[in-house]
Amino acid sequence: MSAFAGAVAVVTGGASGIGQALCAALTQRAARVVVADRNAAGADGVARALAEAGGQARGAAVDVTDADAVEQLIDGTVREHGRIDFLFNNAGIGVFGEELDVTLEDWRQVINVNLWGVVHGIRAAYPRMVRQRSGHIVNTASLAGLSPACLELSYTASKYAVVGLSRGLRAEAEAYGVKVSVVCPGFINTPILQVTEMRRPIDRQRLIALAPTPLSPERCAQIVLRGVEKNRSVIPVTGHAWLGWLLERLSPALTDRVWLAYARKIRALPGGSR
């Protein structure tokens, strides 16, 4: 039997991309899913489609930068179902550009969603899981949390923090029967590739073309859930995520050369140089 059958799962950023695919994959495994997103209509639409397909899902509006709202989301879930088995802290945003071009407000927005959003989820769900003596927190980081990506420093900083936070919490949580994993997807074909704010007039499609062929969100979700079932600490999803992680561990100097070459390619694009 699947580890997810009958389980209660909350997925933030569930209205699109990896979050939506996770919600679908979880309902296919007979989990009861709360599709949480700041896009309330999108969350409700995803939940409705999953329910029409035979799954158990409901939508919930939440802004993960609001600690009280996240607390209410988790509290409402526990009151409705009696427990929470899985929390997927998946909501995330990015800003693309050189440090000379981004603003402090860009930094605040990215850190607030990508790092504080995870912290708020943990602060709400972890004490309840400790009381249950069970549960699994799954935080979405990035390849940029394993290998220091340039031209998106706020994103890289937030995702490195999520990786460190997740691994440290995993060591604490084991004594209480709570599991923690961190997901590092790499390039996935999600709306974030199209909606990430850019601080230079670089042609978005030419920029995307420099990246490896992206994996589908559906395939990503399958790999993630398989890693969660195996209780893996770090779950790299794509081949280039594995390669980037290995390269960083074996030779940071070589990793630096790879990112230097990438930065040169970006600057060579129309609008890419200062």
Residue whose tokens read 């607390």? 71
- Gap between the Cα atoms of 102 and 72, Å rounded: 33
Q: Is 176 a catalytic residue?
A: no
Strand 197-198 to strand 136-140: parallel, antiparallel, or no bridges (unpaired)? unpaired
86-110 burial code (b ≥16 CB/10 A, e <16): bbbbbbbbbbbbbeeebeeebbebb
Supply the Cα-derived Rg of the chain in whole angstroms: 18
The amino acid occupying position 52 is E
Rounded distance between C-alpha atoms, residue 39 and residue 93, angstroms: 14
- Catalytic residue selected from 155, 160, 176, 262: 155
Residue type, 72: Q
- Could you list the active site residues? 155
